[in-house]
């Protein structure tokens, strides 16, 4: 669940919260790991997180907001604004996605869950030149992680991850290719 604000502070934010009673929700250690991973990100195509905290009922992540929807909605929203979705327009979006992924990989981080809902458009006011941003680092893993097991979304997980039970950086490239397709 998300709450977003443009008015309570001078910096807009989005609060992602998890009910502690929900057995499927992340636990505090997972959220702290996600926060530690995201707090120092400094790339316009990668989400930024400002804070993690909890109260008696919820865990919270305070993130940079993205008001333009995710890639599942971009076509309809651009069409509504009369934007011509040419090959060059899509290429610009895909390039930003790859720049974000390149940045993550330069930091030795594998996303492990690239898919349309995990790529947001920063601002919903103008779709003629949208800014794509990679989000949701709950499954992200350092390159050095040798733990076995499959995580991610079926249909986006590369075949070699199923075979080896480990993510490799090129697996993100496979997932991005599925997303672009």
Residue 160 to residue 176: CA distance in whole angstroms: 15
Predicted confidence band at 54 (pLDDT cuts at 50, 70, 90)?
confident
Integer angstrom CA distances of residue 23 from 18, 26, 27, 125: 10, 8, 9, 37
Residue at token pair 């069409």: 79
Residue among 19, 27, 55, 113 flagged as catalytic? 113
Whole-angstrom Cα distance, residue 91 to residue 111? 21
Q: What is the mean pLDDT of residues 169-180?
A: 96
Q: Alpha-carbon distance 142 to 170, whole Å?
A: 13
Q: Contact, 55 vs 42, CB < 8 A?
A: no
What pLDDT sits at residue 26? 65
- H/E element holding 120? strand 119-121
Share of the chain above pLDDT 70, in %: 92
Which of 167, 132, 136, 175 shows the shortest CA–CA distance to 150? 167
d(CA 124, CA 56): 34
Whole-number CA gyration radius for the chain:
17
CB 130 within 8 A of CB 78: yes
Measured distance CA(181)–CA(167) in Å, rounded: 21
Q: Classify strands 119-121 and 132-134 as parallel, antiparallel or unpaired.
A: antiparallel
Active site residue 19: no
Nearest to 136 by CA among 161, 109, 155, 171: 109
pLDDT-based confidence at residue 82 (cuts at 50, 70, 90): very high
pLDDT tens, 92-120?
999 999 999 999 999 999 999 999 999 99
Contacts of 40 (CB under 8 A, 6+ apart): none
């Amino acid at each position: 669940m998300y709450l977003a604000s443009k008015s309570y502070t001078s910096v807009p934010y989005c609060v992602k919260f998890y009910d502690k009673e929900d057995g499927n929700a992340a636990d505090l250690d997972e959220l702290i790991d996600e926060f530690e991973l995201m707090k120092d990100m400094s790339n316009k195509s990668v989400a930024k997180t400002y804070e993690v905290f909890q109260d008696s009922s919820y865990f919270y992540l305070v993130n940079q907001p993205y008001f333009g929807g995710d890639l599942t909605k971009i076509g309809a929203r651009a069409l509504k604004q009369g934007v011509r979705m040419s090959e060059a327009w899509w290429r610009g979006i895909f390039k930003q996605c790859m720049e974000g992924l390149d940045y993550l990989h330069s930091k030795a981080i594998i996303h492990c869950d690239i898919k349309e809902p995990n790529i947001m458009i920063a601002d919903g006011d103008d779709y003629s030149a949208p800014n794509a941003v990679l989000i949701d680092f709950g499954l992200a893993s350092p390159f050095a992680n040798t733990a076995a097991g499959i995580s991610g979304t079926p249909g986006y997980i590369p075949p070699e991850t199923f075979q080896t039970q480990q993510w490799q950086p090129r697996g993100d490239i496979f997932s991005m290719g599925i997303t672009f397709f």
